[in-house]
Amino acid sequence: MRTEIPADSPRLGIIRRYFDRLPVSESTPIVTLHEGGTPLIRSARLSEEVDAEVWLKYEGLNPTGSFKDRGMTVAISKALEDGSRAVVCASTGNTSASAAAYAGRAGLVCAVLIPRGNVALGKLSQALAHDARVLEIDGNFDVALNLTKEMATAYPITLVNSVNPHRIEGQKTGAFEVVEDLGRAPDLHVMPVGNAGNITAYWRGYREAQQAGWSGTLPKMYGFQAAGANPIVRGEAMSDPRTVATAIRIGNPASWSGASEAADSSGGAIGSVRDKEIVEAYRNLAAEGIFVELASAAGVAGLRQLKERGLVPPGATVTCVLTGHGLKDPDWAIAGAARPKLVPAEVRPILQELELA
């Protein structure tokens, strides 16, 4: 039996779900993969560790495996509405995976510029599978982003990086969902920062949720860069950012001012965490059943740092955004683990090997 999906169902995708709060109209052709509606999962282990209520917004469960889909559904729908025939993006991987999928759905050509050798296998496989025109640039993400900006200025191509305001609009819906699930905004909101679009978007979302009367309060916003790629913390752009978390290997974030504004006006901060701490948080999350990519673990590593610095009030409600799925980077997951051992196809030796008999 076919039933009508209720107008407030998360299964509708974020444009239909939050139609009145997004830059769309009845004439916007909605390009959706039913993104959003991702779970907010309580972490028993982290809650105990930092003596707070820690909730994980698992954005890896979006259609292409990252939070980018929230912004991409709006950016691609608007590109189609505006008569665009091609879109372009620079990417450390996830933006390109998302752009390729949504552009494919809309019938638009998708061009992707990626930094040479620094895109995780899963993300590259997505862009290729969705038939994007993928070009490797002999330079890092920041170089690639500048090239795409030039292309979009001089030619009729729509830029779908988060400098496109429709991306930020779509991504703010992550904050709406957190507020819906908690019944109010959290006390602290913690997340990774790369190009700084997402922290800009969440802050906007929380403020709009407050204005709409959904929450009486606003969270303190804490964003974390990797220590080898932390231009905002240093206060100057970096020409050679380095981190194992390739998704946030960015030396000159496009939404720098948005990130600073979120941190400053909320009473939070932008900090940085070492690669070692990111890897540890990644492993701990996986041990709790939650598979994320390295960059996504930067927020959780950051939460630990906040705890050490006495910045997590006992019993506080904390949300951490887990931005991308662990399957994005299978090489990394395998590299850190023991290879499966070959055993005879018999029960006894298997049980012996498992030390269960």
Q: Which residues bind ligand F0G (CB under 6 A)?
A: 66, 91-95, 162, 192-198, 247-248, 293, 295-296, 323-324
H or E element at residue 263 = helix 256-266
Choose between 62 and 215: whose C-beta lies nearer to ligand F0G: 62
Smallest separation, CB 241 to ligand F0G (Å)? 12
Choose between 31 and 100: whose C-beta lies nearer to ligand F0G: 100
Q: Which residues contact 89 (CB under 8 A, 6 or more apart)?
A: 95, 96, 99, 110, 111, 112, 113, 148, 159, 160, 161
Smallest separation, CB 253 to ligand F0G (Å)? 7
Residue type, 179: V
H or E element at residue 87 = strand 86-90
Choose between 12 and 102: whose C-beta lies nearer to ligand F0G: 102
The angle at the Cα of 249, spanning 240 to 265, to the nearest 5 degrees, equals 110
Q: Write phi, then psi, for 4 (nearest 5 degrees).
A: -70, 135
Smallest separation, CB 194 to ligand F0G (Å)? 3
Choose between 79 and 294: whose C-beta lies nearer to ligand F0G: 294
At 264, list the tokens.
Answer: 């400053």
Choose between 91 and 164: whose C-beta lies nearer to ligand F0G: 91
Choose between 74 and 316: whose C-beta lies nearer to ligand F0G: 74
CA dihedral (258, 261, 266, 269) in degrees, to 10, reads 90
DSSP letters for 148-169: HHHHHHHSS-EE-STTSHHHHH
At 338, list the tokens.
Answer: 């023991």
Nearest-CA neighbor of 69 among 79, 78, 61? 61
Choose between 99 and 108: whose C-beta lies nearer to ligand F0G: 99
Q: Between the CA of residue 356 and those of 344, 346, 349, what are the distances in Å? A: 16, 14, 10
Q: Which position has the token pair 């939050």?
A: 18
Question: Kind of pairing, strands 133-137 and 220-226?
Answer: unpaired
What sign for the dihedral angle of Cα 237, 140, 263, 286?
negative
Smallest separation, CB 223 to ligand F0G (Å)? 8
CA distance linking residue 51 with residue 315, whole number of Å: 6
Smallest separation, CB 191 to ligand F0G (Å)? 8
Contact (Cβ atoms closer than 8 angstroms) between residue 328 and residue 93: yes
Smallest separation, CB 4 to ligand F0G (Å)? 35
Choose between 97 and 306: whose C-beta lies nearer to ligand F0G: 97
Smallest separation, CB 53 to ligand F0G (Å)? 23
Smallest separation, CB 342 to ligand F0G (Å)? 34
Choose between 12 and 326: whose C-beta lies nearer to ligand F0G: 326
Smallest separation, CB 270 to ligand F0G (Å)? 10
